[in-house]
Structure 1
Amino acid sequence: MSADTATVVTGIGVTAPTGLGTRAHWEATRAGRGGIGRLTRFDPSGYPATLAAEIPDFDAAAHLPDRLLPQTDQVTRFALVAADWALTDANIDAATFDEFEMGVLTAATSGGFEFAQGELCSLWSRGSRYVSAYQSFAWFYAVNSGQIAIRNGMKGPSGVVVSDQAGGLDAIAHARRQIRQGTPLMVSGAMDASLCPWGWAALWTSGCVHSGTDPDRAYLPFDPRAAGHVPGEGGAILILESAATARDRGARCYGEIAGYAATFDPAPGAGREPALRAAIEFALADAGLTASDIDVVFADAAGVPEQDEIEAAAINAVFGHRAVPVTAPKTMTGRLYSGAGPLDVATALLTMADGVIPPTINVEPTADSPLDLVIGTARRATVRAALVLARGYGGFNSALVLTAAE
């Protein structure tokens, strides 16, 4: 791959429980300030789980035109605002690009569930005349890609990836493929937000959601007390460009999407090894790097003991015993499903720029843990290459390698 066809990140937009905007998110994350608490979007008293990581102080009307509010779910509002911020961060005026040279590729796990629940309630209680025409698309998994494309006049390659928590990395990788095939600019990343009764009931069926009430003991990956994860909302939207496009317009580059791979685990009871290790090795090969080149790993961090053991074993097998720092900032944001991977990518790029690896909060690993977890406080480090991992429910594995801008 030539230097000109490399895919670089030139803009970041974040809406997350750690803050609105990249700066707020990064300040909270490097300081180890968590966003998990009792769910306030609705009364969770009648449900087995009551903790969530909500985005604070988000006023869609302050950021979006009034005409968009009746036709969008909260998750799409998060995505539209983050896309606006990412484009501004990249110093891009979409009107100066050919409309067919800009594409949008995002991921989703649940779509606009809160909007859909409201319309189903109207249908049940008032009748079909009271169901919004916007229901036809506001609930749909691809709605974020569509609304971002419409708002910014982007008519290039577009789509959506649905592979649960692995989806956000998969979307970025598919966007990189479009750039390699000649599209100069892609908007990519993911958002999820299912903090409504319908979404809450669906999330609980995974059997992986924590049922306790103490936020500081709720999401503890790689900890012997681990008992599930805490759902969150939000994610990140990134601006990806070919290196040539970015150079020609004098853009600031956060880093390069250097390598990627995806695998799928064998069926339970098949007697074959989980496939996460293979995803890591394939991603390193795609980037042309070796394990010794990686300066930090952003872990998937399931918070489920058997899944944590699989991930720790894969990292240990590739890198060696405590040979690379490992962190899981999602202990502050909860598990954001498709939004988790892009947010970790954004955080990894900020780690490279700032020379600080953010901590994994509240976790107390055992003395014989094979991982060098960054716990308690942030760690100063020179980071030139980072590995981001994500796994989706049912067996999806994705690994993405980032390298620092030259």
Structure 2
Amino acid sequence: MSRLEPGDVLARRYLLLDPLASGGMSVIWRAFDQSLHRMIAVKVLTASLHTDSGQRVSVRSEARAAARFIHPDSIEIYDYGETVTTNGGVAAYVVMPLLDGTPLAERIEKGPLPWSEAAAIALRLARVLMAGHARGLVHRDVTAENVLLTAGGPKLLDFGIASWAGDPDDDRGTPPYVAPERLLGAPTHPAVDVYALGVLLHAMLTGRTPYPETTWEEIEAASRTSPPPRVPGVPNAIATLCQRCLADEPERRPTAAQIVSALTSALGTVTLGRHVRRGLTVAGSAVVVLSALLWFQQAEPPERQQQARVAEPAPSPTVTARLIESSPSASVTVRQAADGFRTVLEARTPCGATDADVVLDLRQVLESAVAVRHGPEESRTENLRTKLTDRMREGRLTPACLSELQARLDDIDAAIQPD
């Protein structure tokens, strides 16, 4: 297609202002919606659709399916359309909200990210992919250019032009992120997203993609016989996961759900380590204070000690519970995380098909989970996780809904013992 320029208008409505980012498949423009008078982002596919009517039908179908896929970490789709370019070609475009953020590609250009930050970003993206794959959608272009770092966390762009799993192979994708089997014409499969996520994780950890090839010709000419490169200087679990995502054979790669589990475990281990170190420090300080108190108590005359015991009754269990409930570090953050669980549970997407009695039951178990308990804090969400698994097995909870609710439970667990 011919190159679009600032000032061009798509569908007599969307005024293109300036390009924000470009990748192997598309260009993102900052634009103005002249009908609704709001700033938007417009992603225009770089390939023309005018030579293949079947492809046009496929793209429309995929865009409609993706528009129905709504996820907190994926960009909502406002509109989809096709426009005739100046040279007679047909270009597809997707209209999205204009978010304030930085492309992940720009962040990587500044150097490698700390492994925990890279793992946290990959975890959020893996959750989006897991939810999309559960609906039969494959993104096909998970790249640093398609991830926007916002105040609310990373957002995955371009689910507006996704594909159904099993669709014939096509030329969509950005070369450094393209899985090897796509060069052989293999049908679209969720494993191609996993490979791309592995490339992205490697790039975040090292500042560069795992292989030097950047064009289709270079990738097709490359002969790779060695195992995927291993990232140095990061925990073994992260380095191994990255290598598994980059496996040449699709069946050897983990699923998006397995990536979520692995990254959650790796990040949870680090958090637990910080809590243990923090606990040891606090315990050490408590020993010093207790020793000092005992020394002063022993130094006091016996009659003073007796008076103190009479004058200072022990706090009642009710008072203690109120102190715990009012402590910001003990319950406020947990309550906020619980609010996030309720918001997802009651949202139209992805949990809109959930029965009202299931919603009520889960809310009641949630309230019990976040209440002040006398048992170990680590068990707060155990019953709720079991409930979710049971409802999923009964067919009363969709995979996408389950994924999001489990993510909110992770937030609750993390909030129980904040740093």
TM over 0.5: no
Q: Which has the higher helix share?
A: 2
Q: Which has the higher strand share?
A: 1
The two structures have a TM-score, normalised by structure 1, of 0.23
Q: Which has the higher contact order (CA 8 A, sep 6+)?
A: 1
